[in-house]
């Protein structure tokens, strides 16, 4: 393959809200400052190699639909390298400087682990060159769910040999992430869960998972990798029940096994809604538990019970997400990875660009809206006033753990029936909407 | 009211599976031994005062439908006492020796907290007498969700006065539970959650909840109450999002605030399914975290998104539940409380009996089936074999945390691609079904 | 009660998007023309008497929370009349000229049907006066779900006496709707469904429902009421399964019983999402079946499995809804009824206004956005192009039902494998978002 | 391939409930008479070629897991024929005499339609021989969802060429089903739906679908195929919204386009629950609309939002299903097709047998239980009594459409408030459970 992979696609530029050009940013203006920080530094966008360059449009009822011109139908090392060059051209045209990858998506499985590792090394060396000084992985990870050997899990497989194989694969993936200058490393345990408890020793499997993660921590330190380790919660699919169901479940696991200071969470919006929570709830739960690490910016369909991995285009949701991020002071060294895929029926090369531009502009609007809300201040004031009875002497006593039931009973009798103010939810929603 | 409240209802007896008598047990034979323990000691049934004696059939679109003959239309102390006498006749006719109650269901709210407490004392004194030597509360609790003062929560209310009021109410409820010889005390935080995060300081509310529970622990110890304190998880309803979403979420909260050793969980099957889990999953999660305390034996409708609180009549679900209970060696001092209500359209007095008999017989069948499975052993053997590769030297090393990634990688390369055995789920399901 | 009910609330005026005044319209400018029609004529807003003036904040776990100053704690005829005056002041201050009501919400049940009818007549006479020349009911209806007699349904009750009672109540409600100049009459069969098929003769119940609706059609004609009859689909709640599950189910029922030309549908957005569809889908299904009558403008919570009846504040959803309405050429004599209630925790009188203003402004923004999309034309063009292969001779043959399988097979062989264009969903979403 | 495909699997026999042999029927005794008909004639079991012989264990996150010994890794005509021989050995060992197939699963796609048809003819000729006199297709169908050309649908594709191609494929599939002596032909429109209404002309697509089905009816008659045509409803997946959402939606479509007498429905239990209904509800809806044709006996997981296609092993569900079937007088020429697949993790050849035996035994138990309930009669009596007020003169008048609102109002006033009996749901559940 010679020349450009996307010859008809220009470098994507900011043209402002009035532009009708699908191949331009209307809201994302990377260098513009919002609340004292550049948009690109709030948003830290990353493209997911797997969906964008390995997504074929396969679904459970149908074959692949994409015929990207650069693909030759093989999964050879040569093809992997050509694909990697196309990927970096894509990043450069979008103006994005971060990327995320699975080991087995960027390089083919070999006949042996050694051969797989060699394949990976060869592709990674190219990626390192292509990265130059500007581009780095937001995070890397090992793919422990596609190969049939992982059908019972990786770290939680009932087979010892698989556990060891998974360990070897994560070891290597940590090494290459480190080599490429990655800032984070993510564990998504797609098959770490069960199909039925009838045949599952859940306690033993969870113990194994903890041992596995401890070993990962040890190895990370050994090789001097200073990136953050993260777990990505998901409630189910492919398993009936994944162990890392949601942020709180994962936090409980980390606390139980003494791993709470070694990991953070990668929150995915579509996973959040599948687990019965809003994305905002999961972000806030992570934040409150000191675990807000990085974000998979995508979205599901509220009437659909599986992971649709759509680009997030809902302004309200994007604004809520950015409110959490701003509250957290940003999420660096985390960022926004587009763990989102083209619809199966979108088959033009330009659709890859349009989808990312749409997703980036939505997050950019979310950031602008959230900033507007914060600068306006009336929503924050409404919240402050709701709790102001606790900004008192007895409130302080309670919050310090010094108000026992006898003191409180005495106060309750003294005060007789307490006044309870309106929550003013509709007013809050009106203020919120006005910022969109 | 003189004479019996249920004159036409006989004492309910065990008549065996061939009986067609709706007012007889066909499976629950209280003194019969199963796996070395009497059925009544495995099952430890309890009747919930609220649903069974205060359930009126009100739903969100309709008025009450029940016209129990002993009700006089008031909520006076006298009526509360008459109702309590009817309740104990009900317990005695069913042959159940445990009960559960909310403070405000057994005695009316007064104009002041003092008056409410006095009302409660009067009714509780009667209950103590009626209990005799045989009957005891499985657990007591405070109702912190009906009164409008609790509209923003109790321990997590945005109003300091409400927090104090809730504390006073829990203090008293702990006292009366202790006085009545209760074995447990449950916190169900129906309103401890939020309707929208837009106006909620979730972190501050959770801190308050932790302070509240710490004070409860201190007070329990102070009065010498040795019963277990428990939290009952529920995902939502009445709030959009309850803080005690499920077992894992609650465990995370308890761990975060250092309360893990002071509380256990009351798992409700209907709450489990509303949170996206099977009841069995929640029981196992509780068990593995050392938190399996007591069980609300009810069931939801898989196509319905709210708490239907139906009596559990599914044999498969009951058998799974009992497998967990047996695995735990029983759940005493917990038990099975029927947090279940008559359908709104069931309006005969005998329906109250039929519903409980049906629920008790279902749990009894579940126990018999689970015992059959355990005695048969083939399911357990299937599970044991699945994991047997870990019953090896290297397996032991892994489980002891002594197998680092380098050792594991070496093994993985040595072993090359691991064999992965069939999970045999369909065989396990066949074995399971054969026990029903 | 003398003087104004809302003395501190001004007449609500349009102040434009930059206004921060919660008691002003920022987007709804009633006389402004959009696509050749005044906003008020596109939107035809109506206030629901029940939620706005009879909603007490009761939920399934809690008592009422509202303490409106005009309420005296009774449900007398006098109170009903005072409340009606407050209601019309509310309408006038909002500048809304339509309302919707249930018979039993505007006037109290009497001891007999005759007395109930007399109560209703008295209140309705007042309402007629208060309406003046400007205000009319968008629709009336009979409340056949609150009273315990309706616990098994109204038209589908297993009890003949209840069927007759329901008929008498609908007869009267049709009369008063006609008397007040109502433009529509709605059937919402909240209890026309089942709790379990085990005890239900669904076929016989559906036959009864059809007979009931036929009688309603006959009576409507007899009294010269020219308003539209409508059915409001809802999937479930309070029943496990309501017969009018969704638009398609209701259409099937109407077709089966030959009622398809006599009824239209009242689509409620929250009911749509509870039945697994978007609101837009239900509107389009109704429209395509010639059944789009009127709309209950509210919204649910995507993570909640029951009817939350929230004011619609989602801009995307509102825009989709308005796209359907514009496609239909408007919905008169239907309109947008706010079947939405204050959150239980919103307890200030001004919250009633804020909620409606927020809902009206959202629909107004939806209208503005939809008009923008239509005027822009690029979305419609994208759709036109997708189907343009059918705008051909053979396409016309197919659409005329003249292309049999042999012709088509011949063509298929001639053409060999067809080209399939990208669906461009992401581009469509980008265009849609740009209008928000 | 010479000799047997399943040399170690014996012919599966009935051994009765006490057998522990996984490779024996414990409940399905094909020749035994139940309610006057042989079990095999009630149940009319069929094996689905696609799941059982083409299911590879692929899921959306993972590769295939099955390594059946007879597969050579190709999809050649020779491989198709070998596979067909294995399939008939499977049928014979199970003792099942019906099967279901998609065209493209039994024979490979060719380079042209002509070649595909020739491939199909060759494999079908072999199948005809293997069928002998005993085995026949329960139904055939065309696979219009796997190939990328169908990404926008078949009959509802936006591309004319695809519509024609689909017609040609259905034409051929009808022919081969007829040739093989098939008793039914099923349309499952997996891609007949939409991903977003933004780009969809739903009305035009539905018109096309109607034209397509009309052409199928005409062609069926032309070739003298007397089998039943059926539509299989499914709510969604792979599309966001399938046009044949559920039984009622499909009935509405058939009525609207005048096709109601030409089609019946194939109800799948897993599709039923995904659409928010019980399987029993969908069967009853089909039955009441005169559309109960055939059944896909499988089951989903109540906590999972996608099609899991599990073998049905729930005794309660199976009993409900059989109650509908018996009420319908059986479902011939329909039957029970196992549209169910091995779990991805079940990889032994014997698992294929165990899964089917488990499914067949469950349906057999359902039949036995349903017969027990019917013979006992107390459930039917309970239902009869519920409606007995309608078995009266005025009841007959109502049911004949002769009771107008004036007559009914007169009666309502005469009778004053009607008595409403208890629904006795808990008693009905107790009776139901006692039959399991």
CA distance C36 to C282: 26
Q: Which residue of A has its CA nearest to B174?
A: A405
Give A21→chain B minimum CA distance, Å.
Answer: 35
Q: Has residue A204 got a pLDDT over 90?
A: yes
Q: Has residue D91 got a pLDDT over 90?
A: yes
Identify which of C159, C249, C432 has the shortest CB distance to residue D418.
C159
Kindly list the partner chains of chain A, i.e. chains with 3 or more CB atom pairs below 8 Å: B, C, D
CATH domain A31-376 topology: TIM Barrel (3.20.20)
CA dihedral sign of residues A101, A107, A110, A116: negative
CA distance D360 to D338: 9
| Average pLDDT score, chain B | 97
Query: A388: which residues sit within 8 A by CB, 6+ positions away?
Result: none
Give A56→chain B minimum CA distance, Å.
Answer: 27
> Under DSSP, is residue D81 helix (H, G, I), strand (E, B) or coil?
helix
| B303/C59 CB distance under 8 A | no
Q: Which residue of A has its CA nearest to C362?
A: A433
Q: Give B20's Cβ-side CA count (13 Å radius).
A: 5
Identify which of A62, A146, A241 has the shortest CB distance to residue D238.
A62
Give B226→chain C minimum CA distance, Å.
Answer: 30
| B237/C60 CB distance under 8 A | yes
Q: Superfamily assignment of B33-376 in CATH?
A: Divalent-metal-dependent TIM barrel enzymes (3.20.20.150)
| B62/C151 CB distance under 8 A | yes
Residue found under tokens 């008293």: B172
**C291: confidence class by pLDDT, cuts 50, 70, 90:** very high
Instruction: Over range A360-376, report the average pLDDT.
Output: 98
**Residues β-bridged to residue B294:** B266
Which chain A residues contact residue D150 at CB under 8 A? Answer: 62
Instruction: Over range D192-215, report the average pLDDT.
Output: 98
Q: Has residue A417 got a pLDDT over 90?
A: no
pLDDT in tens, A286-335: 999 999 999 999 999 999 999 999 999 999 999 999 999 999 999 999 99
| Average pLDDT score, chain C | 97
| A214/B281 CB distance under 8 A | no
pLDDT in tens, A159-170: 999 999 999 999
- pLDDT > 70 fraction of chain C, expressed in percent and rounded: 100
> Which of C51, C102, C152, C280 does the annotation list as catalytic?
C102
Q: Which residue of A has its CA nearest to D308?
A: A240
CA distance B188 to B177: 15
- pLDDT > 90 fraction of chain D, expressed in percent and rounded: 99
Q: Which residue has the higher pLDDT, A419 or D211?
A: D211
Neighbours of A129 (CB within 10 A): 11
Residue D102 among the catalytic residues: yes
In angstroms and rounded to an integer, the radius of gyration of the C-alpha atoms of chain B is 24
CA distance C257 to D255: 11
Element containing residue C35 per DSSP (H, E): none
Task: Locate the DSSP E strands across B329-372.
Answer: 336-338
| D60/A151 CB distance under 8 A | no
CA distance C19 to C25: 8
**Which residues of A have a catalytic role annotated?**
102
| Average pLDDT score, chain A | 97
Q: Give D296's Cβ-side CA count (13 Å radius).
A: 33
Task: Say if residues D273 and D308 touch (Cβ distance below 8 Å).
Answer: no
| Spatial CA neighbour of B358 closest among B273, B298, B308, B306 | B298
Size of interface A-B (CB pairs under 8 A): 289
What phi-psi label fits residue C148: left (phi over 0), alpha (psi between -120 and 50 degrees) or beta? Answer: alpha
* Res D416: pLDDT: 84
Q: Has residue D99 got a pLDDT over 90?
A: yes
Q: Has residue B344 got a pLDDT over 90?
A: yes
| D60/A60 CB distance under 8 A | yes
Q: Has residue B1 got a pLDDT over 90?
A: no
**A232: confidence class by pLDDT, cuts 50, 70, 90:** very high
Instruction: Over range C59-88, report the average pLDDT.
Output: 97
Instruction: Over range B174-192, report the average pLDDT.
Output: 97
- pLDDT > 90 fraction of chain B, expressed in percent and rounded: 99
**A1: confidence class by pLDDT, cuts 50, 70, 90:** confident
Find the chain A residues whose C-beta atoms sit closer than 8 A to any C-beta of D.
57-65, 145-148, 150-152, 190-191, 195, 236-238, 240-241, 274, 301, 303-307, 343-345, 347
CA distance B112 to B139: 25
Q: Has residue A144 got a pLDDT over 90?
A: yes
Kindly list the partner chains of chain D, i.e. chains with 3 or more CB atom pairs below 8 Å: A, B, C
Residue A228's alpha-carbon distances to A217, A297, A334, D240, in angstroms, are 10, 19, 9, 37
For the question of an ipTM over 0.95, the answer is yes
Task: Say if residues A248 and A203 touch (Cβ distance below 8 Å).
Answer: no
Q: Which residue of A has its CA nearest to D344?
A: A151
Identify which of C387, C411, C413 has the shortest CB distance to residue D201.
C387
CA distance D294 to D267: 6
- pLDDT > 90 fraction of chain C, expressed in percent and rounded: 99
| C418/D161 CB distance under 8 A | yes
Neighbours of D31 (CB within 10 A): 9
pLDDT in tens, B33-42: 999 999 999 9
DSSP state of D299: B
Instruction: Over range C330-352, report the average pLDDT.
Output: 98
Residue found under tokens 């104004």: C4
Find the chain C residues whose C-beta atoms sit closer than 8 A to any C-beta of A.
17, 20, 22, 26, 273, 276-278, 302-303, 311, 313-316, 342-343, 345-348, 351, 354-355, 357-358, 361-362, 378, 420-427, 429-430, 432-434, 436
| C433/A361 CB distance under 8 A | yes
* Res D175: pLDDT: 98
**B50: confidence class by pLDDT, cuts 50, 70, 90:** very high
| B399/A211 CB distance under 8 A | yes
| Spatial CA neighbour of B319 closest among B264, B376, B263 | B376
Give C94→chain A minimum CA distance, Å.
Answer: 16
CA distance D217 to D199: 30
Q: Has residue B233 got a pLDDT over 90?
A: yes
| D348/B422 CB distance under 8 A | yes
* Res B187: pLDDT: 98
| B422/D345 CB distance under 8 A | yes
Residue D160's alpha-carbon distances to C39, D110, D163, D244, in angstroms, are 40, 21, 5, 21
Q: Has residue D231 got a pLDDT over 90?
A: yes
Q: Which of C22, C422, C426 to mutate to test the interface with A (most CBs of A within 10 A)?
A: C426
> Which of D51, D102, D152, D208 does the annotation list as catalytic?
D102
Identify which of D379, D408, D425 has the shortest CB distance to residue C167.
D408
Identify which of A236, A304, A344 has the shortest CB distance to residue D304.
A236
Which chain B residues contact residue C61 at CB under 8 A? Answer: 145-146, 190-191, 237-238
Lowest-pLDDT range of A281-285, C416-420, D199-203, D210-214: C416-420
Residue D124's alpha-carbon distances to D5, D99, D103, D142, in angstroms, are 20, 13, 9, 14
* The CATH number of domain D13-376 is 3.40.50.150: no
Q: Which residue of B has its CA nearest to D16?
A: B434
* Res C416: pLDDT: 84
Which tokens in the block code for residue D93? 């060992």
Which tokens in the block code for residue B68? 């129990």
pLDDT in tens, C263-285: 999 999 999 999 999 999 999 99
pLDDT in tens, D345-398: 999 999 999 999 999 999 999 999 999 999 999 999 999 999 999 999 999 999
* Res C24: pLDDT: 98
* Res C409: pLDDT: 98
Q: Which of C160, C242, C273 to mutate to test the interface with D (most CBs of D within 10 A)?
A: C160
Give C120→chain B minimum CA distance, Å.
Answer: 20
Identify which of C219, C280, C401 has the shortest CB distance to residue D214.
C401
**Domain spans, chain C:** 13-375, 379-434
Which chain A residues contact residue C303 at CB under 8 A? Answer: 273, 276-278
**D417: confidence class by pLDDT, cuts 50, 70, 90:** confident
Which chain C residues contact residue D203 at CB under 8 A? Answer: 288
| D145/A240 CB distance under 8 A | no
* Res B416: pLDDT: 84
* Res B274: pLDDT: 98
Which chain D residues contact residue B298 at CB under 8 A? Answer: none
Give D430→chain A minimum CA distance, Å.
Answer: 27
Q: Superfamily assignment of C13-375 in CATH?
A: Divalent-metal-dependent TIM barrel enzymes (3.20.20.150)
Neighbours of C427 (CB within 10 A): 24
Taking CA B305 as the corner, what is the angle to CA A339 and CA C360, rounded to the nearest 5 degrees?
Answer: 75
| C59/B238 CB distance under 8 A | yes
* Res B390: pLDDT: 98
Give C358→chain A minimum CA distance, Å.
Answer: 6
Q: Has residue C142 got a pLDDT over 90?
A: yes
Residue B95's alpha-carbon distances to B5, B45, C405, in angstroms, are 16, 9, 72
Which tokens in the block code for residue C382? 């994208």
Which chain B residues contact residue A198 at CB under 8 A? Answer: 379, 425, 428-429, 432
């Amino acid at each position: 393959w010679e020349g450009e992979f996307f010859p008809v696609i220009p470098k994507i530029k900011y043209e402002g809200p009035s532009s009708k050009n699908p191949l331009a940013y209307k809201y994302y203006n990377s260098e513009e400052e919002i609340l004292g920080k550049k948009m690109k530094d709030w948003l830290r966008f990353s493209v997911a190699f797997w969906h964008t360059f390995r997504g074929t449009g396969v679904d459970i009822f149908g074959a692949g639909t994409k015929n990207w011109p650069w693909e030759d139908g093989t999964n050879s090392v040569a093809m992997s390298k050509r694909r990697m060059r196309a990927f970096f051209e894509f990043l450069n045209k979008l103006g994005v400087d971060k990327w995320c990858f699975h080991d087995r998506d960027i390089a083919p499985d070999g006949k042996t682990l050694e051969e797989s590792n060699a394949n990976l090394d060869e592709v990674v060396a190219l990626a390192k060159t292509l990265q130059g000084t500007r581009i780095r992985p937001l995070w890397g990870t090992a793919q422990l769910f596609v190969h049939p050997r992982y059908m019972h899990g990786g770290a939680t497989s009932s087979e010892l040999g698989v556990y060891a194989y998974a360990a070897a694969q994560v070891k290597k993936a940590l090494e290459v992430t480190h080599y490429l200058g990655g800032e984070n490393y993510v564990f998504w345990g797609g098959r770490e869960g069960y199909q039925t408890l009838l045949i599952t020793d859940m306690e033993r499997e969870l113990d194994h998972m903890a041992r596995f993660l401890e070993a990962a921590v040890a190895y990370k330190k050994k090789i001097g990798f200073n990136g953050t380790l993260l777990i990505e919660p998901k409630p189910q699919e492919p398993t009936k029940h994944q162990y890392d169901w949601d942020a709180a479940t994962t936090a409980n696991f980390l606390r139980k096994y003494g791993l709470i200071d070694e990991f953070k969470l990668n929150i995915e919006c579509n996973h959040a809604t599948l687990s019965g929570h809003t994305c905002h709830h999961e972000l806030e739960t992570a934040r409150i538990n000191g675990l807000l690490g990085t974000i998979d910016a995508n979205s599901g369909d509220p009437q659909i019970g599986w992971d649709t991995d759509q680009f997030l285009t809902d302004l309200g949701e994007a604004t809520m997400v950015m409110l959490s991020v701003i509250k957290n002071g940003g999420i660096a060294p985390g960022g926004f990875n587009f763990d989102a895929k083209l619809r199966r029926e979108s088959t033009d090369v330009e659709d890859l660009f349009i989808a990312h531009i749409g997703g980036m502009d939505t997050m950019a609007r979310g950031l602008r809206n959230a900033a507007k809300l914060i600068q306006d201040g009336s929503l924050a004031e409404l919240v402050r006033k709701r709790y102001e009875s606790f900004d008192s002497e007895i409130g302080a006593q309670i919050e310090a753990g010094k108000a026992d039931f006898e003191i409180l009973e005495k106060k309750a009798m003294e005060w007789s029936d307490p006044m309870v103010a309106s929550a003013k939810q509709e007013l809050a929603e009106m203020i919120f909407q006005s910022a969109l």
